[in-house]
Amino acid sequence: MTPTPSAPIFRAIAERAVLVEFGTTLDQAAHDAVLRIDQALAANPCLGFRESVPAFVNLLVEFDPLTTDHPAVIDHLRSLLNAPAKPHKPSAEREVLVCYEDSPDLNAVAQQTGLSPQAVIDAHLSGDYAVFMYGFAPGYAYLGGVPEAIRLDRKPAPVRNIPAGSVMIAGAQCLVTTLVMPTGWWIIGRSPTPILTQNPARPFLFDVGDKVRFRRISLAEYEAAL
């Protein structure tokens, strides 16, 4: 059975979680369904609820196994699918500054896509970006919405010591790194915009579901903003 937003698959994970799958590939309708059930669960948590973790097309729901069990949690989640729709929380729009000058992979992306470097920049700036999920590193927000014209598979091998603030693309996704790390994504820019806020109440710039708009700055503006 292939999961869909209207007919998700529920999977028991270990002794303390349920995974709700709405699809198998990156899809906006499936992701919207993830956000809807996550919002409904926050408003009406199941017995023993601990945490929910939204991803691209699935939601992990963790619970206290001493208080409830998988069948009870799945029944509760099924009931949320049929609950009347509530007004969706409006998403915020976040601006991220990006400098494309001296980017290590801009020319390579241009060559592989058949575009000029300026056309690659224009395409990247035109993307309709939204935060789909957080990944393995602090503030590592996966943005969907990279235009088709500049979508490339990841590099065959990762490159080490990529600096924080690197603006990268791979497939339909875009990222702004927050730590020095290896990556196989294509680095087309760099940003001085702080993603880690140093605020314990709101540690990251983005929330899942937020819209993101990139604004181009010059090398001089980038260096002045650091």
Half-sphere exposure of 130 (CA within 13 A, CB side): 16
What's the rounded Cα separation, in Å, for the pair 220 and 131? 28
Question: Tell me, what's the pLDDT at 74?
Answer: 97
Provide the β-strand partners of residue 169.
174, 186
Question: Tell me, what's the pLDDT at 86?
Answer: 58
Question: Tell me, what's the pLDDT at 220?
Answer: 97
**Between helices 117-126 and 106-113, what is the axis angle to 10°?**
90
What is the fold of 93-225? Cyclophilin (2.40.100)
What's the rounded Cα separation, in Å, for the pair 143 and 208? 9
Identify the three-state secondary structure at position 195: coil
Under 8 Å between Cβ of 49 and 18:
no
From first to last of the 226 residues of the chain, give the pLDDT tens digit: 778 777 899 999 999 999 999 988 877 888 889 988 998 999 999 999 999 988 888 999 999 999 999 999 999 999 999 776 655 566 799 999 999 999 999 999 999 999 999 999 999 999 999 998 888 888 899 999 999 999 999 999 999 999 999 999 999 999 999 999 999 999 999 999 999 998 888 899 998 889 999 999 999 999 999 8
Q: How many residues are listed for the chain in this entry? A: 226
Backbone angles phi, psi at 132, to 5 degrees: -90, -40
Question: DSSP letter at 8?
Answer: -
Strands 186-190 and 93-98: unpaired
The CATH 3.30.1360.40 portion of the chain extends over 9-81
CATH number of 9-81: 3.30.1360.40
Question: Tell me, what's the pLDDT at 209?
Answer: 85
202: its two tokens: 């709101």
pTM greater than 0.85 (yes/no): no
The CATH 2.40.100.10 portion of the chain extends over 93-225
For residue 225, what are the contacts with CB-CB under 8 A and spacing of at least 6?
97, 192, 217
